[in-house]
Structure 1
Amino acid sequence: MQENPRKRGRPKSFSGNAAQTTIQSLDRALEVLDRLAASKGLTLTEIATDLGQSPATIYRVLATLEARAFVEMDPAAQAWHVGPMAFRLGSAFLRRSSVAERSRPVMHDLMQATGETSNLGIERQGEVMFVSQVETNESIRAFFPPGTLSPIHASGIGKALLSRHGEDQLNRYFRTCRQDSFTDKTITTPEALRQELALIRDQGYAYDDEERTVGMRCVAAPIVNLYGEAVAGISVSGPTHRMASERIAEIGALVRDAANTISRGLGAPDAGDNG
């Protein structure tokens, strides 16, 4: 027996034209929610003035949202705020905002733009664990199958993640993790690594210049969540003859933009400042 096909997300008769498919009153209600979410509370008059609507119209919107607990009013200040139901919906979004899922299309774009392999990694007990990779078609390429571990201090993604650590986290890292040498370019002292992390914060991307493997380079940037915490890192890696020194700034900008795109998808408050 043939299974029933899954229902479509929209009817065929709707072309996607905004004027045809949007509901004005619902759009206005969402605009009110958006204004409240960006503020510390607004009065009825402030909302109406901001949106160019009459107070009576905006009050009907607020009363409807209040009945569903999407907004609530502080009687003392006569100010409206986002309500608990809005948080519940936001939590539902967080449950499906898998960083690996959201990163995949961005990684494909990054590989196409740079011509090099794109990687996604997370921090795990003082090391970087690679969780996803989009390989270049070049015959000579970096290869990190999911589950591969790399020392955090000798990895582009690792240094990008360390750059987001607070002072207490960094001190804990230096106390508990060794900075072993792998090549003559590996950074092996806390002082030198701190200087490197300051540079990463300034430019928004990290650069692994043959610090783990001779002949291979990597450029990475941190991915942050809605709390501004680094939850993963994205990078491109390849041989030095293709990732020449004069290309690093260009590649760094592309990697930083890719990280910002993913961070925005995770609800980062200011994805433009994740370095």
Structure 2
Amino acid sequence: MTQPRPRGRPRAFHDKTDQNTVRALDRAMGLLTALSETKGLTLSELAALSNQSPATVYRVLITLQGHDIVELEEEAQRWHVGPGAFRIGSGFLRRTNVAERSRGAMQALMRATGETANLGVEDRDEVLFLTQVETHETIRAFFSPGTRGPMHCSGIGKALLAFLPAARVAAILKTQGLPGFTPRSITSETGLHADLDRTRARGYAIDDQERAEGMRCIAAPI
């Protein structure tokens, strides 16, 4: 029996070849991603980073600027993510509602501990930070909404991994690997699984300077 095609998907939904992608849009998304990971880039920097001609990059930027997705800082001639991108991204938060619902609990957690509180989810085999309540202390960590990070060396990532099905964990490790960032990073599957066992037993994960030296994190799944 033929399975019905899900609504909203064409017949070629599973065909990921070039004929079913819009290359100009793909380039635009690549530039937007690059801008989101920096404090702004010049046209020349974006062209070099994307391996495209300045003329091509400029046309893409002007198109995105027309929708407020990017904006130009005239004095420094640097391009930045614009308010239109924020409005679009806010649609995700409205759909999930989790960031808004967690705000009160995160503020209470920050006041009780004196430390920054973060909320993240697993997305495309990485940790995606959704929102943060910063501590008022002088020394603090900052992860802007939309920041991504590896799962195996962050408190939130390990808290999520510990309670995912084994097959899902194996698939994530196969895709992402176990790169090291500090001498304390867990870079073997045996070591990671032992850490996840401890996380499940106590109910929370610990990142002991595994992503950045001098920074520790405690995280629990909710």
Q: Settle same-fold status: TM greater than 0.5.
A: yes
> In angstroms, what is the RMSD of aligned CA positions?
1.5
Cα offset, 1:150, TM superposition:
1.1
Q: Please list the CA deviations of residues 33-71 of structure 1 after superposition, one character each: whole Å capped at 9, or x if unmatched.
A: xxxxxxxxxxxxxxxxxxxxxxxxxxxxxxxxxxxxxxx
Amino acid at match of 2:190: E
- Counterpart of 1:143? 142
- Counterpart of 1:180? 179
Distance 1:139 1:98, change over 3 A: same
Q: Please list the CA deviations of residues 120-171 of structure 1 after superposition, one character each: whole Å capped at 9, or x if unmatched.
A: 0111112111110000001110100101111111110000000011111122
The whole-number CA distance in structure 2 between the counterparts of 1:215 and 1:97 is: 33
- Counterpart of 1:157? 156
Higher relative contact order (CA closer than 8 Å, sequence separation 6+): 1
Unmatched 5+ stretches in structure 2: 1-93
Amino acid at match of 2:184: K
Aligned residues: 129
User: What is the 5 A alignment of 1:7-46?
Assistant: none
Secondary structure of the residue that 2:218 maps to in structure 1? strand
The whole-number CA distance in structure 1 between the counterparts of 2:129 and 2:95 is: 21
- Counterpart of 2:53? none
User: What is the 5 A alignment of 1:63-82?
Assistant: none
Q: Which runs of structure 1 show a deviation greater than 6 angstroms over 4 or more consecutive aligned residues?
A: none
> Which has the higher mean CA deviation after the structures are superposed, 165-174 or 204-213?
165-174
* Aligned sequence identity (%): 53
Q: Please list the CA deviations of residues 54-101 of structure 1 after superposition, one character each: whole Å capped at 9, or x if unmatched.
A: xxxxxxxxxxxxxxxxxxxxxxxxxxxxxxxxxxxxxxxxx9872111
Q: Please list the CA deviations of residues 175-234 of structure 1 after superposition, one character each: whole Å capped at 9, or x if unmatched.
A: 2221100000000111110010010000000000000000000000011xxxxxxxxxxx
The whole-number CA distance in structure 2 between the counterparts of 1:96 and 1:151 is: 24
TM-score, normalised by the number of residues in structure 1? 0.45
The whole-number CA distance in structure 2 between the counterparts of 1:107 and 1:200 is: 21
Distance 1:134 1:174, change over 3 A: same
The whole-number CA distance in structure 1 between the counterparts of 2:158 and 2:140 is: 21
